[in-house]
Amino acid sequence: MKAVVLAAGEGRRLYPFTDDRPKVMLPIANRPIMEYVIEALAANNIRDIVVVTGYKEETVRNYFGDGRAWKVNLTYVTQEKQIGTGHALLQAASSIDGPFLALAGDNIVDAQSLSALIDSQQDTAVLIEESSSPSKYGVVQLRQGRITAIVEKPPQAETNLISTGIYRFQPSIFSRIEDLLQEGKPHLTDVVCQQAQDGEQVGAATGTGTWMDVVYPWDMLQVNAQALRAAAPRRAGTLEDPVTIRGNVRIGDHTVIRSGSYIVGPAVIGEGCEIGPHVCIFPGTSIGDNVVIYPYTDVRFSVVMAGVTIGSHTHVSHSVIGAGTAMGSHFTARHGTGFMEVENVLHTVGDAGVFIGDDCTVDDQVTVEPAVAIGHRSHLGSGAVVRKTLPPESNVM
């Protein structure tokens, strides 16, 4: 069996982090989301994988290459315009000659859930999960174990069962996609719903409950924390005496943890980092490669991407810091309940800190209020207090 991984989308609701990378390349526990997908497929002995790329496709192709490092064979096709998931899948039609899986590269899924879908006896089947917030997704309606409809993002969900957007198909699905594209229906949900309406059997395979989706910037924190629980502990690099490490902590090669530092897992620290002295890292935190954290700083329940510098006497909590950002001393990311507008919808976000895009410069003694996003390559001058989301390349003095 082959698989098609859809990796063409931008992920606009994840501003500011998809300005510089597609959603599939967002780091979760220091690995791109799509890497979890590839590993779950490989664990099911699915080795031939077609990846549909589009937005900033070079970042995907450069990282994964031919897939040899994951013991799979990756080939690529391009979706020139991001019209919809059905249109994206259609780009892989010439590479498919038998039953196959179609799945998004921007959701984390486990091998066992995919196995349940692979074993389905139906030509078309959908992996479904229970969700605590079903209205964010396509809500599934079932009758006698078969899907009769998928209602996209209903204001009030009738059930908590959702489609994960992971499917088992036959090659005949491509002709249906072409027909529905002519009717202005470019999504795979449209195709599956049409099959159900036409009386075809659409199976439902129930996942294990570990499927995770990152929709908004604050989702990265919860998904990151959950992924960290499964990360194998490892202590490489150099740990000066005394350093206290408790719980499941993974430390990469050539990293130096200086004396007086205190690290509590689950947490991961990448390669080539310099931490401390007297730095505290608390559970639910991932620190990317080549990160420098100066003394008397604490980082809690946060994602710090590669190449970041965090100055001394700084407090970062419930925050995501984009790659290459340089932060001065005495920075404070206040965390609590705030409000973020995403695609003209105002969201109440509880327990949120700051979301800083890539390659920003933050001078000393800057304070940012909860649930604020800072666009990439912005500059926050000394003593600035930021209370609202900023566009890219902002300059706050």
Taking 90 as the threshold, does the pLDDT of residue 145 lie above it?
no
**Chain mean position to CA 173:** 28
pLDDT 10s digits, 326-342: 999 999 999 899 999 99
pTM for the whole structure:
0.94
Going by pLDDT thresholds of 50, 70 and 90, the confidence category of residue 111 is very high
| Mean per-residue pLDDT, 24-30 | 97
| Mean per-residue pLDDT, 245-271 | 97
| Mean per-residue pLDDT, 178-201 | 91
| Mean per-residue pLDDT, 363-381 | 97
List Cα–Cα distances, 132 to 148, 161, 164, 221, 346, in angstroms: 21, 9, 13, 17, 20
| Mean per-residue pLDDT, 270-291 | 98
pLDDT of residue 299: 98
pLDDT of residue 268: 98
Taking 90 as the threshold, does the pLDDT of residue 108 lie above it?
yes
Distance (Å, whole) CA 67 – CA 52: 14
If you average pLDDT over every residue of the chain, what do you get?
A: 95
pLDDT of residue 132: 85
pLDDT of residue 278: 98
Going by pLDDT thresholds of 50, 70 and 90, the confidence category of residue 187 is very high
pLDDT of residue 274: 98
Taking 90 as the threshold, does the pLDDT of residue 135 lie above it?
no
Going by pLDDT thresholds of 50, 70 and 90, the confidence category of residue 136 is confident
pLDDT 10s digits, 60-84: 999 999 999 999 999 999 999 989 9
Distance (Å, whole) CA 121 – CA 145: 12
Taking 90 as the threshold, does the pLDDT of residue 244 lie above it?
yes
φ, ψ at 78 (rounded to 5°)? -115, 135
φ, ψ at 76 (rounded to 5°)? -125, 145
Instruction: Report angle CA 359, 361, 363 to the nearest 5 degrees.
Output: 165
Taking 90 as the threshold, does the pLDDT of residue 161 lie above it?
yes
Going by pLDDT thresholds of 50, 70 and 90, the confidence category of residue 319 is very high
Q: Any idea how long the chain is?
A: 397
pLDDT of residue 121: 84
pLDDT of residue 358: 98
φ, ψ at 67 (rounded to 5°)? 85, 0
3 state SS for the chain: CEEEEEECCCCHHHCCCCCCCCHHHCEECCEEHHHHHHHHHHHCCCCEEEEEECCCHHHHHHHHCCCHHHCCEEEEEECCCCCCHHHHHHCCHHHCCCCEEEEECCEECCHHHHHHHHCCCCCEEEEEEECCCHHHCEEEEEECCEEEEEEECCCCCCCCEEEEEEEEECCCHHHHHHHHHHCCCCCHHHHHHHHHHCCCCEEEEECCCCCEECCCCCHHHHHHHHHHCCCCCEECCEECCCCEEECCEEECCCCEECCCCEEECCEEECCCCEECCCCEECCCEEECCCCEECCCCEEECCEECCCCEECCCCEEECCEECCCCEECCCCEECCEEEEEEECCEEEEEEEECEEECCCCEECCCCEECCCEEECCCCEECCCCEECCCECCCCEEC
| Mean per-residue pLDDT, 116-135 | 90
The percentage of the chain sitting over the pLDDT mark of 90, rounded to a whole number, equals 85
- Domains of the chain plus CATH, in order, are 2-215 (3.90.550.10), 226-396 (2.160.10.10)
pLDDT of residue 16: 96
Taking 90 as the threshold, does the pLDDT of residue 225 lie above it?
yes
| Mean per-residue pLDDT, 288-295 | 98
Taking 90 as the threshold, does the pLDDT of residue 95 lie above it?
yes
pLDDT of residue 184: 92
